[in-house]
A and B are shown apart, each in its own frame.
Chain A
């Protein structure tokens, strides 16, 4: 009988793909940051430009932290990876909330610009990365980059 082994006793081996994905997204984030900051600067002024920069930094840090947590836990145990993913979600949302609470009264922060940048950067980078991931999974021989 072919029984599934308990995930408690298993660990993921090999390279951490989420670190690669996260590095790709952070790299692209640095490329698009000046454009986003310029657009936010045109719409909201100088405070909007700085807020966009802070928003992009928060999103990239969020991606990096998520990848680092999963990459740390997966080789130890799959069960730990699940726990870390869920508590990591809470911790990352909490850190984001703390960062925004600390920044909300700063004179050069424009909250609408910060909020819009967070959503646009997060979704934009994800869709951008998804295009490469989908291509890599469907046609491994045509991987756009290593």
Chain B
């Protein structure tokens, strides 16, 4: 009887730990996914408007491309922060 009780307790412990690990992994994945959506929309909007500006004023293309590149890099920083939080939650 005592052995069965011990086995049941061990199984309950393992299940709880597994559930916790699964939830942590899923949450980290959601965090990274959600962190990548916003910058994706932002970069799409930014590049779309830049292309529109270059089509309207080809002589300003150099300036537009410079600011566009910096804008892409700044927007991407948000995704990188999400990614770093993900790897820290998942692996550190």
Q: Which residues of A contact B (CB under 8 A)?
A: 4-7, 10, 12-18, 21-22, 62-63, 66-67, 70, 74, 78-79, 81-82, 85-86, 89-90, 92-93, 96-97, 100, 104, 111-112, 114-116, 118-119, 122-123, 126, 129-130, 133, 137
Chain A nearest CB from B73 CB (Å) reads 5
A66 to B76, CA, bound (A): 11
Interface residues on B, range: 35 or more
Residues of B participating in the A interface, judged by any CB pair closer than 8 Å = 36, 39-40, 43-44, 47-48, 51-52, 54-56, 58, 61-63, 65-70, 72-74, 76-77, 79-81, 83-85, 87-88, 91-92
Contact assessment for A111 and B47 in the assembled complex, using a CB-CB cutoff below 8 Å: no
Task: Determine if B66 and A21 form an interchain contact, defined as CB atoms under 8 angstroms apart.
Answer: yes
* Assembly CA distance A5 to B2 (angstroms): 82
CB-contact partner of B40 in A17, A86, A122, A123, under 8 A: A86
Residues of chain B with a CB closer than 8 A to A7's CB: 51-52, 54-55
Asked if residues A17 and B73 are in contact (CB atoms below 8 Å), the reply is no
Q: How far is the CB of A75 from chain B (nearest CB, A)?
A: 11
Cβ A126 vs Cβ B74 within 8 A: yes
**Is A133 in contact with B52, judged by CB distance below 8 angstroms?**
no
- Measured in the bound complex, the distance between the Cα atoms of B84 and A133 in whole Å is 28
Complex alpha-carbon distance, A85 and B65, angstroms: 12
Instruction: Judge whether A66 and B73 touch: CB under 8 Å.
Output: yes
Docked CA distance A90–B54 (Å): 24
Asked whether, in the complex, the Cβ of B73 is within 8 Å of the Cβ of A122, the reply is: yes
